Amino acid sequence: MKSICNKAKFGTAGFPVNFFADKAGGGKNRDNIFVWLQNKGLNALELQCTYGIKMKDDQAVKYRKLAEEYGIYLSIHAPYYISLASKNKEVVERSKQEVVKGFKLAGLLDATRIIFHPGGGYGKGEAERKAGLQQLIDALNEVGKQLDTSRIRIYPEIGGKVNQLGSLDEIIEICKQVKYARPCLDLAHLHARENGSLKSKESIVKALKKVETELGRTALEETHFHMYPVSYGAGGEQAHKTFAERIETSQINLFESDDRYYPRAEDYIAAIKELKLSPVTICEAHNTQDVGAMLMKEFWEHGI
C-alpha cells in the first residue's frame, strides 16, 4: 500500500523564473519543465491559460505524454477574463465558449481540473451580487450539458479582492448547485479577503471543516489548493510574497511579534495532515513557486 505522502501532489503555477534561469535543466525549451520538476522532487504543474486558451492540439498531446513520462499531474487555469456573472450577454456567451475550450484542452492533456475565477461584472450591491452568483451557476449548468463532465471538473477559485465573487461561502454555493464543480481554495486569497484570517493551523482547519460540513468528505478530498503568502489591505489581496519574505518592523501590529507573511507553509501542512488529506497543492509564491512547493513537500514528508 502506498503511503499518504506518495499520494499528495506539490507543484508550481506555470513556469517558474528559476526554470528559465536554469540553462542546463530548463532554459528556453518549455518541454523541459516536466523533467525539471521531477528533478526538484515535484509532481504537479498548473498550466496558466490566464490570457487565453491558445495551446495547439499537437502541443497538448506532447505535454500529456511528457507529463505521463515524468509523473507530473496537470491542471489548467482558465482565462482571467471569463465572466459568467456579467450583465453583458455577449461576454457571458464568450465566457461559456472559453469553458468549452478549456474542457477540450483538458481532454487532450488528460487533465481533470480546470480552475477559474468567478470574477465580477454583476454590478454593485448585495442583491446584484446574489443575482450575479446565481447567473454564474445557471451558466455553468447550461454549458455543462454539452460537456463530458464524467472525469473533468471545474474549480471556482476563492477571489483575492473583497469586491469579487469568490468568498468561501460563494464557492461552496457554486459547488452545491453545479454537480461538476469542486472548490479551489486559494488560501492566500481567503486570508486577504478576510482581513488576515489564516494565521494558524486551527484557522485553516476551520475553513476546511466548513467545506466538509457543507459539501461532504468527497468534495473536501477533491479540493484543489493554491498556497503562498500574501500582503493585503482593506480591499483584499495586494501582492504575492515568498515564504522567506519578512514584513518591515514599522508595519507589524503592536500586539504581534511575528514578522512573516501569512498563510504559513507549516500551518497549511499541519492542517491537511490533521484532516488526513493528501491534496493537489499548487504554489504561487512570487517568482519562487518551485521553492515554495519544495518547502511544503519537505514539511509534508519529513515534518515541521
C-alpha cell at 120: 465580477
Q: Show the cell assigned to 66.
A: 511528457
User: What whole-number distance in Å separates Cα of residue 13 and Cα of residue 157?
Assistant: 14
Rounded-to-integer distance, Cα 118 and Cα 174, Å: 10
pLDDT score at 120: 81
Distance of CA 141 to the CA centre of its chain: 21
Could you report the per-residue pLDDT of 111-160, keeping only the tens digit for each? 999 999 998 878 778 999 999 999 999 999 999 999 999 999 999 999 99
In this predicted structure, what is the pLDDT of residue 197?
A: 97
pLDDT of residue 249: 59
The per-residue pLDDT for 164 is 92
Which pLDDT value is given to residue 124?
79
User: Residues in the chain with pLDDT < 50?
Assistant: 1-5
Select from 164, 129, 287, 155 the least CA-distant residue to 236. 164
Cα–Cα dist 232/299, whole Å:
26
